[in-house]
Amino acid sequence: MSDTPVTYVRKEMLGQKAPPTSEVGPVRWVRENLFSSPMNAILTILSLYVVYVVVSHVGPWLVNGIWDADSLTECREIIAATGDGHHSAACFGVISARWHQLVFGYYPSELYWRPVLALVVFLVGIAPVMFPSLPRKLYIVTMAAPLLCFWLLWGGSIWLPIAIALGFAVGVVAHKLLDTHVSSLAAIIGAIVLPLIYWLYICGPLAGGLASIIPLGIEFVPSRSFGGFMLSIVIGLSAIVISLPLGILLALARRSDLFIIKTCAVVFIEVIRGIPLIVWLFTAQLLLNYFLPPGSSFDLTLRVIIMVTLFAAAYIAEVIRGGLAALPKGQYEGADSLGLNYWQSMQLIVLPQALKISIPGIVNTFIGLFKDTTLVVFIGLFDPLGIASAIRATTEWNGIYWELFLFIGIMFFISCFSMGRYSLYLEKKLQREHR
């Protein structure tokens, strides 16, 4: 071989070149996702045009929004003064003037801290349930939260919630005493009946008596002052919190072998579920009034909360029943073979799995329930939509629509979206199959 170097053979490796611009980065993404075929290209251009039209109309309307006007007329004057007469602008002055009513209804403004504090108490109370990593001591707040929230929202004498709480103590004591001295069946019956008797006949006079000896309390706020998002949240959260345990019991009852219990559960669920919520609300508002003597006022908001809770419980029961049915039979048999009794097997083996399966359905029901609270507008309660029409019924703001609806929509979206996110977090955290 000659010594002449072979010039056409490369001796060193070429450095890596950047890929062609059409194959990487945004250009490739656009090509692949937006213009991959003529049809898609047309669709993309059409969609872009639609987006442009919407943004070019809604954008200026939002951006030019006027926040400091005291009436629609003033708002229109400002728009006319600044613009060329053609441009449009939102009149957010209604939000800055009336946001407190949209949020708190007609709750006394100097007491706004109370519903806010109640919400904080609720959130602290529910935190250990939602996030198991938190210290267990927080369960003390969880147990006190319902009555504390009740007291903060409605106010009045502090002795009423304390007297109600004593009822639970009565139940626990009765259960313990009867269990050791009589029998476990008597203990269960006693733990249910005695507190009921206490609440019906002793609780009221006791609270009244204590209040007259040591008058201690905060200003009473009637339910009629509740409104706006506060009302939605009070109704929604009460119903959510109470309907879940109720729904679990109903689902278990429906799958029970005991004929009477099963029949009761089936009838309850089918009757409640078979009739629209609005009909139940009208029942709460109108029919109950006929059963009660004139003059007695069994609080309308409480009536609504009870109706909404029962309604939600029926749906939750069916969702959880689905979870129970999805569980392989082996799980039940395994629990039995371990010698666990019914409640133990449900608590330790069946329900944790069934509830996990049901999470999306449960949260779905809750989101629906929260939005359904706006139906109370039809029975004369001031939910956010009711407040919006009441605001429109004043001479200052008559004729304003979109700004109010936008605000209400955003508030509902925030609430419902966070519920949905939490459910996703929970699903991921509880995923056991693929670890």
Partner 1 sequence: MKKTVFFGALTAAGLAAGMASAATLDDVKARGSLNCGVTTGLVGFAAPNAEGEWEGFDVGVCRAVAAAIFGDPTAVEFVPTTGQTRFTALASGEIDLLARNTTWTMSRDVDLKFEFVGVNYYDGQGFLVPKALGVTSATELDGATVCIQTGTTTELNLADYFRVNGITYEPVPIETNAEGQQQYLAGACDVYTTDASGLAATRATFENPNDHVLLPEIISKEPLGPLVRHGDNEWGDIARWTLNALITAEELGVTSENIEELAATPGNNPEVNRLLGTEGELGAMLGLEADWAKNAIMAGGNYGELFDNNIGESTSIALARGLNAQWTDGGLLYSPPFR
The footprint of partner 1 (CB under 8 A) covers 72-73, 76, 97-98, 101, 105-106, 109, 160, 163-164, 199-201, 203-204, 207, 222, 224-225, 282, 285-286, 289-299, 302, 377-382, 386, 389-395, 398-399, 401
Query: Residue 157 in 3-state DSSP?
Result: strand
> What's the min distance (Å) between Cβ of 160 and partner 1?
7
Q: Residue 35: helix, strand or coil by DSSP?
A: coil
For the CB of residue 399, give the shortest distance to partner 1 in the complex, in Å. 3
Helix H or strand E encompassing 148: helix 139-154
Torsion angles phi and psi, residue 217, rounded to 5: 175, 180
Is residue 124 within 8 A of residue 161, CB to CB? The reply is: no
**How far is Cα 350 from Cα 327, in angstroms, rounded to an integer?**
8
Whichever of 187 and 387 has its CB closer to partner 1, that residue is: 387
C-beta of 224 vs 262, nearer to partner 1: 224
Closer to partner 1 by Cβ: residue 120 or 197: 197
DSSP state of 8: T
Q: Which is nearer to partner 1, 327 or 390 (CB)?
A: 390
Could you tell me the smallest distance in angstroms from the CB atom of residue 396 to partner 1?
8
The two tokens of residue 231 are: 């009302």
> By CB neighbour count within 10 A (0-12 exposed, 13-18 middle, 19+ buried), where does 225 fall?
middle
Cβ proximity to partner 1, 163 vs 367, nearer residue = 163
CA pair distance 105, 244, nearest whole angstrom: 27
d(CA 34, CA 28): 10
Distance CA 409, CA 391 (A): 16
Between 293 and 330, name the residue whose CB sits nearer to partner 1.
293
What is the smallest separation between the CB atom of 209 and partner 1, expressed in angstroms?
A: 13
Closest distance between partner 1 and the C-beta of residue 324, in Å? 32
- C-beta of 255: minimal distance to partner 1 in Å? 30
